[in-house]
A and B are shown apart, each in its own frame.
Chain A
Amino acid sequence: MVAHALAEAVAYPAVGASLDVERISHAFDIDGNALPVLEDVSFSVKPGEFIALLGPSGCGKSTLLRLVAGLGAPRSGVLREDGDPVTGPFPSRVVVFQDPTLFPWRTVWNNVALGLEAQGILESQRQRVDAALDLVGLSQFRNAYPHLLSGGMAQRVALARALVNDPKILILDEPLGKLDSLTRITMQAEIVALWQRKGFTTLLVTHDVEEALFLANRVIVFSNRPARIKADIAVDRPYPRHRGDPKLAELRRNILGLLGLDATW
C-alpha cells in the first residue's frame, strides 16, 4: 500500500539535518528537590541518519526528545541543528508522540493540515496535505473525525501530520508503543520506506530492542535514570532488513546484556 502511494506521491526534497547533542544535563523540580534525568549526554547525528535511543522505561529518553524538539530548555549543554543552537520549537523538527494526539474536533484532513495552517501557508499548499495523506494510505478517510479511526490509522494520520511539514529531523517518541503487534510490524516497514524515500534525520525512542535493530543505523543505549550513554552501537546491515538475520540476533543479545537482561536470553 505504501510502496504504491510512494510511487504516486509528489516528491518534496527534504534533506536531513545534522544534530549535535553537546553535554546535555537536565533535571526536574519535584517538591523543591532536583531530580536529575539526563547526565552529560553527548552524541552527534549525521544528516539522514536513523538513530534509535534505547533504555529502560522512565530513564529520560523522552525528555531528551522534548529538548531536541525545543519544547523545553536543558539545564546545561547545547543542542545544535545543522550547527545552529536549538532555542524553541520549529517545524523543521517535528515530533510524533506515543499517543497520536489528533485534535478530535478536526477531520483527518484538517489534522494533517495543522502545521501548514499554523505557519500560514495552507492556502497555497493544499496539495501537500493530500500528498501526505496519500503517503500513509488514508486519502479515503480525509473527512472522517478521529474517533472513527483505529489506533494504527490514528498513528498514520499523526505521521502524515508530521511529514507534511517536510521535517529535517523527525522525532519519534515510541510512536508504535501502543499498537498491536501486527500493526506495529507493518508500520515499522512503512517508517523505513518513508525515511529512505525522504532522507530526513530520524530520532526514535523505543524500548523494543528488536524494533530499534530493525529500523536504525545506530542504537544508543541509555542507563537507568539519570540517563547516561552506555553504548553507541552501529547496526551495519542493509535495508530492507530481516527479522531473522543472525547478525541482528547477536546485536540483540549484546544490547539485552547491556540492559542487564542477559539472564532472559
Chain B
Amino acid sequence: MSTYSASKTVALKQSAEEGAALSGRPPSLAVSLPSGGTGVFASLAWVGFGISCLWWPDIGDWPRTHQLAAAALVIAGAIFLASVAGNRLGRFNAGLQRRAPWLLASALFLTLWEVATAKFAWLPLPFFPPPQSIIEVYTDDLPKLLDSILASVKLQLGGYLIGATVGFLTGVSIGWSRSVGYWVHPVLRFIGPLPATAWLPIAFFTFPSSWSASTFLIALATGFPVTVLTWSGVASVSNAYYDVARTLGAKPFFLVRKVAIPAALPHVFVGLFMGLGSSFAVLVVAEMIGVKAGLGWYLQWAQGWAAYANMYAALIVMSLLCSGAITLLFRTRDRLLIWQKGVVKW
C-alpha cells in the first residue's frame, strides 16, 4: 500500500493541471475508451510494474523487492476486479473511471523508476534510490518517522492557530478603527514584509526554548498575510451594507460581527491560505536549524547520513501533510462561504 501512496503523491502534485485538462478538452483518454477499458489497461500496467520488479535481478541489496512486486500485483488485481464489476460499485466505479488514466500513468512511472534504479542502475546511487527502498523506510524506520510527524504537526498547528487568531483580530481592528490603524499600520509595514526566517537567530536566543521560538516564527509568518487580507477585506466592505444595518437599528458591535466580518471572510481565507504556505516554509527551516525534532529535522538528519531513501520518504509524507492541510482549509472555506458563486475547487 505504501507504493500506492507514493503514486498518489505524484498524482496530487499535478492534480490541478490534470483537472483542467480533463474537463477542458472533451476527447480525452478517459472518454475515448469504452467504459472500464482504461481500468483494465491500468491494471495491466500494474501487473507490468510487478513483473518488472521480479524479472531482472537487483543491482544492490534491496530486501523489499518481493513485497513491492506482491503489492503491485494486488493493486493490479483490485483495479481489474473493480473495472470489471463496473456499475455495480456505483459512485466508487465513477471515481475509478475518472482516475484510471492516472493509475495507468503512475504504474508506468513506477516501472520506469524501478528499472532505471534497482535493475540497470542508470541513475546514480545513493541519490536515486529505487521504490522498494522507500517502502523499506516506511516499514523499518516507522517509529522515528511517526515521532517526527507528530512533532511537526504539533509545532505547525500551535503556531498557525496563534498566528491566524492574532492576525485576524489585528486585521479586523485596523480595518475598523482609525486610531488602531494609526498605531498598528506603521509597525505592520515595518515588520510584516520581513521574511519570518530572518528572525531565526534572534528568536532562538531570546526565547526560552527552541520550541517557543519556532512557534513564534510560524505565528509571525501566518499572521502577516492574515492581518493584511483581513484588514483589506474589512476596509473594502461596501458602505451600503452598513447603511442598511444602521437604519435597521444595528449598533457598532453588531456592525463588526454581523456585517464587517462575514463580508470580509472571502479575503480572510485568502490570507489564511497564504499564511499556511509561508508557515510551512518557516516550519521546515526552524526544524532544520533549531528544533531537534520534526520532519525538517528528519530530512536534515537523513541527508547527514546520505540516507536519500529516508529523505524521499519524508518528503512524500510532508507533501501529503501540507496538501491535506490545504484541503482541510478549502473544505472549511467551502462550507462557510457556501453563499459565494464559483469558488476555486482544490
Contacts and interface: CB of A to CB of B under 8 A. Distances in A.
Contacts of A105: 262-263, 265, 337, 339
B249 A103 contact: no
Contacts of A70: 247
Given A103-B259, A118-B254, A97 B240 contact: yes
A214 to B, nearest CB: 26
A106 B339 CA distance: 8
Interface in B321-346: 337-341
B243 interface: yes
A119 to B, nearest CB: 4
A118 B251 contact: yes
A106 B259 CA distance: 10
Contacts of A141: none
B240 A89 contact: no
B247 A89 contact: yes
Contacts of B339: 104-106, 145-147
Contacts of A89: 246-247, 249
Interface string A65-103: 010011100000000000000000111011101010101
Interface in B215-269: 238, 240-241, 243-251, 254, 258-259, 262-263, 265
A201 interface: no
B343 to A, nearest CB: 12
Contact of A101 (B240, B258, B265): B240
Categorize the interface residue count of chain B.
20 to 34
Given A103-B259, A105-B265, A94 B248 contact: yes
A85 B238 CA distance: 28
B244 A97 contact: yes
A161 interface: yes
Of the candidates A69, A93, A103, A119, the one having the most CB atoms from chain B within 10 angstroms of its own CB is A103
A71 B241 CA distance: 12
Nearest to B246: A89
B247 A91 contact: yes
B101 to A, nearest CB: 35
Categorize the interface residue count of chain A.
20 to 34
A240 to B, nearest CB: 29
Contact of A119 (B240, B249, B259, B340): B249
Contacts of A104: 339-340
A118 B265 contact: no
Contact of B247 (A69, A106, A145, A147): A69
B244 to A, nearest CB: 5
A118 B263 contact: no
Nearest to A95: B247
Of the candidates B241, B251, B258, B340, the one having the most CB atoms from chain A within 10 angstroms of its own CB is B258
A93 B262 CA distance: 25
A157 to B, nearest CB: 12
A223 interface: no
A161 B245 CA distance: 10
B244 A91 contact: no
A178 to B, nearest CB: 14
B248 A165 contact: yes
A66 B243 CA distance: 9
A91 B247 CA distance: 6
A95 B263 contact: no
A97 B244 CA distance: 8
Nearest to B261: A105
A71 B338 CA distance: 32
Of the candidates B248, B337, B341, the one having the most CB atoms from chain A within 10 angstroms of its own CB is B248
A208 interface: no
A1 B254 CA distance: 35
Nearest to B338: A145
A114 interface: yes
Nearest to B244: A101
A115 interface: yes
A64 B262 CA distance: 30
A213 B203 CA distance: 74
A117 interface: yes
B265 A115 contact: no
A73 to B, nearest CB: 14
Contacts of B254: 117-118
A71 B265 contact: no
Contacts of B249: 89-91, 115, 118-119, 165
8 contacts: A69-B243, A70-B247, A89-B249, A94-B248, A101-B238, A103-B241, A118-B258, A146-B339
Interface of B: 238, 240-241, 243-251, 254, 258-259, 262-263, 265, 337-341
Q: Nearest 3 pairs between A and B by C-beta?
A: A115-B248, A118-B250, A91-B249
Given A118-B251, A145-B339, 11 more contacts: A89-B246, A94-B248, A95-B247, A97-B243, A101-B244, A103-B259, A103-B263, A114-B244, A114-B258, A145-B338, A161-B244
